[in-house]
Amino acid sequence: MTATTTRPPMAADARQMIDLLKELGFPAMETLPPADTRAIMAQMPRARARELAAVENTTLPGPAGEIPVRLYRPRAFNAAAPCLLFLHGGGWVVCTLDTYDAFCSELAVAGDCVVISVDYRLAPEHAYPAAIDDAVAAFNGVVAHAERLGIDPRRIAVGGDSAGGNLAAALCLRTRAAGGVQPCLQLLYYPVVDAVGQWPSYAENATGCFLTQVTMEWCWHQYAGQTSAPWPEDLAPLQATSHANLPAALVVTAGYDLLRDEGNAYAQRLLAAGVPTVLRQYPAQIHGFLMQGADAADCIAASGVELRRAFEPLLIA
């Protein structure tokens, strides 16, 4: 476990966001009941979503009832479309389909694919394994209902950021174990892939970098509950006994992020297991940087490249 010891100064847009949150007096998640934090976040201004051919709210079958999802269609497809199943971040506790509306619209355009954003159940009301159960059910639902949704079941990628990255990685482990259809690609943006506090980047970025160690530990405990080591692989994917035969991956990490080291380690673990993996590191950025700025645009463009690369050979096969 080694930390990156040299890095550039924090990006200006990242510093501006941190300063703005301080100026607004935005409270730390762990200081309020989850419902209050959700209500505050719902009132925060968001980027405008891209104009697309269609945006549709629907549901997929889930283990505890219908799972709300939102479909983003960048254009009219002449045949069954490729798809990205997206799992949002928010520490398994906050955020909604609306929070990621603009981001999902950008991914749909970049990847030239339908994006299906999943409104999985949130902790602490629904602790582990509720969120991953919903994520897997949503994936299986897209496969089962591909014709109705206009989706090519061979060309379904999965992705997510932070806690959503955890769910995306865990979904790939779950579908591998099930032996059925697997995603063709996993996009893991600064994912949680190990138990909290296990890496040097936690100490290095404990405070002053947007996501604090106290907040991350609080989120983990809201979701993981009383679960203790050894961690199940669909909770801490880095600790899976094998990472072979998993989907190709794009892993994105940020230099000023608690989760940097475990994300980098996961990319290396996938590579060592023979999984085609691209690791993109943004040394000057913070956790959550995908919501704004030039680095966000660069990462979305890179995601589009990887999505098209994964989808194209399956189209002509």
β-pair type (67-73, 54-60): antiparallel
Residue 60 in 3-state DSSP? strand
Cβ–Cβ < 8 Å for 247, 202 = no
Q: Give the burial class of 272: count Cβ atoms within 10 A of its Cβ; 0-12 exposed, 13-18 middle, 19 or more buried.
A: exposed
Q: Where are the extended beta strands (E) located within 88-169?
A: 114-118, 151-161
Exposure string over 126-159, b if 16+ CB within 10 A, otherwise e: bbbbbbbbbbbbbbbbbbeebeebebbeebbbbb
How many other C-beta atoms lie within 10 A of the C-beta of residue 93? 21
Asked whether 85 and 116 are in contact (CB, 8 A), the reply is yes
Tell me which H or E stretch contains 249: strand 248-256
Enumerate the H helices of the chain as residue ranges.
Answer: 12-24, 34-42, 101-111, 130-144, 146-149, 163-178, 200-204, 213-224, 260-272, 293-316
Strand pairing class (185-189; 248-256): parallel
Residues recognised as catalytic: 162, 257, 287
Tokens 């940020």, residue located:
254
The first and second tokens of residue 73, run together, are: 């269609």
